[in-house]
Amino acid sequence: MKIISYNVNGIRAALKKGFLEWLQSANPDVICIQETKAHKEQLDLTEFENAGYPYHYWFSAQKKGYSSVAILCKEKPNHIEYGTGIESMDFEGRNLRVDFDEVSVMSLYLPSGTNAERLNFKFNYMSEFQEYISNLKKDIPNLVICGDYNICHEAIDIHNPKMKGVSGFLPEERTWIGAFINNGFVDSFRYINPGKQEFSWWSYRANSRANNKGWRLDYAMVSEPITENISRAYILPEAKHSDHCPIVVELDF
The string of DSSP letters for 36-84 reads: --S-GGGS-THHHHHTT--EEEEE--SSTTS--EEEEESS--SEEEES-
Would strands 69-73 and 79-82 be described as parallel, antiparallel, or unpaired? unpaired
Is 148 catalytic? The answer is yes
Choose, from 99, 139, 148, 243, the residue flagged as catalytic: 148
Compute CA distances 225 → 80, 137, 139, 141, 221, whole Å.
22, 10, 13, 7, 12
* Residues 35, 68 contacting (CB under 8 angstroms): yes
Return the half-sphere exposure (C-beta side, CA atoms, 13 A cut-off) of residue 244: 25
Residues belonging to the active site: 148
